[in-house]
Amino acid sequence: MDLRKGAVPLCALALAACGGGGGGGGDNVNPVNQMSVDAKELRAFIGDLKTLRVDATDLLGNLIGNPTLTWSTSAAGIATAAPGTQPSTGAITAVSAGGATVTVSSNGRKVDTPIQVYAKPESVADLQKVFPWFKTGLGVSTYSDIGSAENDARFAHFSSLWTYMSGGTGLLPTSGAPSSAEFYFTRDVNVLLQGRDQCNAVFETPPSVGSVMSCSDGMWGGPETTERWFYVAPSNPLSQDQAQMQHELAEAFFEHAVPDEQEFAWLYKGSTQYYEAGVLSGSTSFSVDVASLKKRLVADPTANWVPSTAPSVIMQTPYAATAGEKTIHDYSYGPAALILFLQTDSTYADKLRPVIDKIVAGTITSNSAAVTELLSTAGKTAQQLDDDYAAWRTANAL
């Protein structure tokens, strides 16, 4: 599904042109006594459409489901305001650069929210202006227009993950790793598209809601590269954001470390799949979340990234250029590579990292040689690994 700029109903546009309007169909039985909005301030680029949500309560403190609201702004030439498409919301449209105040009123009560509108960003530094919350530390920076507490939680999570991977304590080698990463979380479609312009990269279609796009200072061009990730998260829980982004960050490391992502497709995609299903504890340990992995293995049999019937010998199936990346996702690596070698149990613990190091060092130069090395390291045949994998699935109710 293509992501397009949110369309504003014609009636809303008509009201916006006047700088405001009443929220028709409101609850007039219980008049508003107190109001609050879900943002202390708004930051936007010209053309952005922002949403403000109002919590309105009556004299008894009860929440009013559909209050009668009037929306206006102090400068309609900078930002307009109109009732949103959902009850208790307002649609704020950024028109030109400058500052204005959005006002929502009802029953003699009102709440003001300042908005600052910026011109089209010419750099990443300009892009960062629209994110009210940010945090930065060694290796990681997070930017968000969603909330301060959630941004702090994201920063803590990705700082730990960065330390785990860049320190070489996990599966990923440090060779060629990016030197830092910036994460941008937004609910605003236009912000994501503005960010895409700063990537200087071609994307075939606009990204979908909930999707990620990435760019870097050198577009994979050297040890000083900063990875940048732009993410639309309109309604995702924090845990879902973290799972997606830890997968993307692991993939970024692998894109630097693995010399040929087509030749070693099962390693490149299979290992990052593991990180998407994993749980990070502090900065020193990482383990598979069986519940999360189960969803990815069996929830959608028609589009299963790791088919439950796939034998581990499929690890040797080469990347098919004619089929594209779909072949990587659906067929090019086996469950044994994904599960058993990545497990931290006593049987296979630390068995995969030496193989990755040999690939990075150039000692192993082909997929078939890597599979042979893995089988030798495990001390088992492919069939035995399949049997172990089947037992693992049974033990974890998969």
Q: Using one digit for the tens of pLDDT, what is the confidence trace for 354-373?
A: 888 888 888 998 878 888 88
Neighbours of 359 (CB within 10 A): 24
Q: Are residues 103 and 206 in the same domain?
A: no
Phi–psi pair at 150, nearest 5 degrees: -65, -35
Residue 73 lies in a domain: yes
Neighbours of 108 (CB within 10 A): 8
Q: Are residues 248 and 263 in the same domain?
A: no
From 256, 271, 296, the end of a domain falls on 256
Which domain covers residue 245, as residue numbers?
120-256
Q: Are residues 267 and 394 in the same domain?
A: yes
Residue 3 lies in a domain: no
Q: Are residues 393 and 263 in the same domain?
A: yes
Total domain count for the chain? 3
Q: Are residues 264 and 361 in the same domain?
A: yes
Please give the chain's pLDDT, 398 residues, in tens: 233 223 333 333 333 333 444 444 455 567 899 999 988 899 999 988 888 999 999 999 999 988 999 999 999 999 999 999 999 999 999 999 999 999 999 999 999 999 999 998 888 888 889 998 999 998 899 998 888 888 999 899 888 888 887 776 666 666 666 778 888 888 777 787 777 777 665 555 555 555 667 777 655 444 457 777 776 655 667 777 787 778 778 777 777 677 777 777 777 766 776 777 777 776 677 777 767 666 665 544 454 455 555 555 555 555 555 544 444 444 445 555 556 666 656 677 677 778 888 888 889 988 788 888 888 888 888 788 778 777 877 887 76
Please give, one letter per residue, the 3-state secondary structure of 219-284. Answer: CCCCCCCEEEEEEECCCCCHHHHHHHHHHHHHHHHHHHHCCCCCCCHHHHHHHHHHHHCEEEECCC
Residue 270 lies in a domain: yes
Q: Using one digit for the tens of pLDDT, what is the confidence trace for 95-105?
A: 999 999 999 99
State the CATH number of the domain containing residue 100: 2.60.40.1080
Residue 2 lies in a domain: no
State the CATH number of the domain containing residue 133: 3.40.30
Residue 5 lies in a domain: no
Q: Using one digit for the tens of pLDDT, what is the confidence trace for 314-356?
A: 555 555 555 444 444 444 455 555 566 666 566 776 777 788 8
From 256, 285, 305, the end of a domain falls on 256
Q: Are residues 357 and 274 in the same domain?
A: yes
Q: Are residues 233 and 357 in the same domain?
A: no
From 256, 291, 308, the end of a domain falls on 256
Q: Are residues 33 and 106 in the same domain?
A: yes
Contacts of 14 by beta carbon, 8 Å cutoff, 6+ apart: none
Residue 227 lies in a domain: yes
Q: Are residues 125 and 246 in the same domain?
A: yes
Q: Are residues 365 and 298 in the same domain?
A: yes
